[in-house]
Amino acid sequence: MKLLLTSGGITNESIRGALVELLGKPISECRALCVPTAQWGHPMLGPASVRRFVAGEPPWHGMTSLGWASLGVLELTALPSIGEERWVPWVREADVLLVDGGDATYLYHWMRESGLSDLISSLPEMVWVGLSAGSMVMTPRIGADFVSWASAPDDRTLGVVDFSIFPHLDHEQMPENTLVEAEKWAAGIAGPSYAIDDQTAIKVTDGTVEVISEGHWKAFPG
């Protein structure tokens, strides 16, 4: 699987160019599934914000409204009740998964419960585009400060990559997401990590990590 791990989605031309490179063809020729599941685990999100993500309304327009050849919704909480024979072909036929933010531990839980976490390892050409928690779920840990789901046993996530992500660095609506706080967070992660703003993404292909940015970011060696 090819990864484009963003803080705020496809927010600038550099990140968009990285996406097209990963897809290997124009966005207009690609089939996308959007995954809103992480939103249900966050107490500040719900039906209205899910609708805005799926409909491609600001501030989520840099994901679902890019001009995909087709766009569908993959709700992970529904998958265990309908059987793999139905939903696995939907995923295999897609070129890209657009995975929204919310709570990464909730998303991690439902990726395992649904079986998606097992399936993605067999899809080397699939592109995973994460937004915030949709990116953080691919890391080993997110840090206790980013856990909002009350039933989360801890801050562990999938560990597909070997680094963690502090998103929304210096975001105007998140005054607590400063570089000072990111440094404190990184000290508690006990591993390599990145603090990235909404103009930054991390591209991962075949184990190679590349930071794509028109904003600012910082790497912490761990």
Is 90 exceeded by the pLDDT of residue 14?
yes
- Cα separation, 122 vs 198, whole angstroms: 30
Residue 175 has pLDDT above 90, yes or no: no
Determine the 3-state secondary structure of 178 from DSSP. coil
Asked if 115 and 133 touch (Cβ cutoff 8 Å), the reply is no
Q: pLDDT band for position 205 (50/70/90)?
A: very high
pLDDT at 172: 82
What distance separates the 2 farthest-apart alpha carbons in the chain? Answer: 48
CA dihedral 127, 179, 38, 44 (to 10 degrees): -150
The one-letter amino acid at 79: L
| Residue 190 binned pLDDT confidence (cut-offs 50, 70, 90) | confident
Enumerate domains of the chain plus CATH numbers: 2-220 (3.40.50.880)
Contacting residues for 161 by C-beta, under 8 A, at least 6 apart: 3, 5, 138, 139, 140, 204, 209
**pLDDT above 80 (res 113):** yes
Residue 34 near residue 53, CB atoms below 8 Å: yes
Would you state the pLDDT for residue 77? 98
To the nearest whole number, what is the mean pLDDT of the chain? 95
Q: Tens of pLDDT along 32-69?
A: 999 999 999 999 999 999 999 999 987 767 899 999 99
Q: Which residues pair with 70 in a beta bridge?
A: 31
Over residues 60-112, the pLDDT tens digits come to 678 999 999 999 999 999 999 999 999 999 999 999 999 999 999 999 999 99
Q: Which of 62, 159, 181 is nearest to 112 (CA)?
A: 159
This prediction has a pTM of: 0.96
List the structure tokens of 154. Answer: 């801890």
* pLDDT value of position 176: 86
Does residue 188 have a pLDDT over 80? yes
Q: Residue 141 — very low, low, confident or very high, per pLDDT cuts 50/70/90? A: very high
Q: For residue 55, count CB atoms less than 10 angstroms from its CB and return exposed for 0-12, middle for 13-18, buried for 19 or more.
A: exposed
Tokens of 1: 């699987």
pLDDT > 70 in the chain, percent: 100
What pLDDT is stored for residue 8 in this prediction? 95
pLDDT > 90? residue 3: yes
For residue 123, the model assigns a pLDDT of: 96
